[in-house]
Amino acid sequence: MTVIDVYILTGFVGAGKTTTLNHLLKIEPLASANPALIINEFGKIGVDGALVEQRDLTRFEINKGSIFCICTKTDFLKALREITDSGEHNALLIEATGIAETVDIESFLDAPDLAGKYQVKANLCLVDAADFTRVAAFLKPAKTQVQYADALIVNKCDLVEDSQLVTLRKILKGMNPDTPTTETTHGKVDNDFLNGIEHRIHDDKTIEQPPADIIAVSISGDQPFDRKRFFDTLDELKDNLLRLKGNIDFGEGIRFVELAGTQINETNPVKSLATQNTTTTAFTAIAWNINKETLQTKLAACKRQTES
């Protein structure tokens, strides 16, 4: 029986996990292992799944909550069983939601019909060099992801000064000493980085609920948004918004808008996301310390007023 190697990719929202995932799929040992993918998102709209470049890979999207939370256990186990039943995959790459409170998934993998079929090879944590120290100060998931990691990938190093990078290295070493660490930009990990990483099993139980103060709102539809009002609202919500990404119709053409940390980028629309959602606008916002209904109302109010 072939044992399927499991690689878990964690990291707080906006660290660049999907970009890194796309790179990992091109290097060994994953490139030749026909890996299956599990894309895990906190919001209802699966944006990250649409951003994966290799469209021919078997993939499962779990958007009800964190894979480390009991709330997704049924969907997670169903995906694991389908992967083993196919007999086509030697590896599984899991991209966890950015607000996941990392714990071990061995309890899932040890289910009676799955025992011995999977082995965790590495829990990789992506660290946003430009934003980690800001969010880790008040958001627990950012810290636990680092503490549970078997290896750290410090990303976006081109966006910080050398002195900031020195400070970050000291912080990470204090949180998870002796862990293999690589520093990169645009998620480009060296080909040999995955070799030799040893997985460490911890004793923590599966989490039963997502973080109480973090919420997600997903918005879709065909009514255009007012550009100025939308970006003014993002500025108003800057102390609450952790992440926003998706296609938005501003009336003069659809754009892909992404907020990560304090940076907002606007690019050409993601066509596969539009196909997946069948609407011109489809985006998810993740925030903290704000009521879900309030966030929904503020974002929905950015739509252009229809003429009576």
Can you give the C-alpha Rg of the chain in angstroms? 19
Contact 198, 269 (CB under 8 A): no
* Residue 269 neighbours by CB under 8 Å, 6+ apart: 247, 253, 254, 255, 256
**Span 85-101, pLDDT tens digits:** 999 999 999 999 888 88
Span 157-185, mean pLDDT? 95
Tell me if residue 292 falls in helix, strand or coil. helix
Mean pLDDT for all residues in the chain: 88
pLDDT at 53: 79
Span 102-122, mean pLDDT? 87
Strand partners, 245: 258, 284
Q: What angle do CA 294, 287, 303 make, to 5 degrees?
A: 50
208: exposed, middle or buried (C-beta count within 10 Å: 0-12, 13-18, 19+)? exposed
Of 50-59, 226-235, 282-291, which range is least confident? Answer: 50-59
Both tokens of 279, joined, read 């609407």
Say whether pLDDT at 19 is over 50.
yes
pLDDT at 302: 96
Nearest to 49 by CA among 287, 244, 272, 256: 272
Query: CATH number of the domain at 4-183, please?
Result: 3.40.50.300
* pTM for the model: 0.83
Say whether pLDDT at 193 is over 50.
yes
Region label for 46, one of left (φ > 0), alpha (ψ between -120 and 50) or beta (otherwise):
beta
Beta strand 118-128 with 4-10: parallel, antiparallel or unpaired?
parallel
Q: Which CATH superfamily does the domain covering 214-300 fall into?
A: CobW-like, C-terminal domain (3.30.1220.10)
Nearest to 68 by CA among 205, 206, 203, 201: 206
Nearest to 285 by CA among 227, 209, 230, 203: 230
Extract the runs of DSSP E, i.e. beta strands, from the chain: 4-10, 36-40, 59-62, 91-95, 118-128, 151-155, 181-183, 214-221, 241-249, 254-260, 263-267, 281-288
Both tokens of 268, joined, read 């050409």
Of 23-27, 135-139, 144-148, 256-260, which range is least confident? Answer: 135-139
Say whether pLDDT at 208 is over 60.
no
Q: Which sequence spans correspond to the domains of the chain?
A: 4-183, 214-300
Beta strand 254-260 with 241-249: parallel, antiparallel or unpaired?
antiparallel
Of 136-140, 150-154, 283-287, 301-305, which range is least confident? Answer: 136-140
- Do 4-183 and 214-300 agree at the fold level? no
pLDDT at 205: 60
Contact 140, 175 (CB under 8 A): no
Say whether pLDDT at 251 is over 50.
yes
pLDDT at 164: 93
pLDDT at 207: 58
Contact 42, 116 (CB under 8 A): no
**Unique residue bearing structure tokens 């934003």:** 131
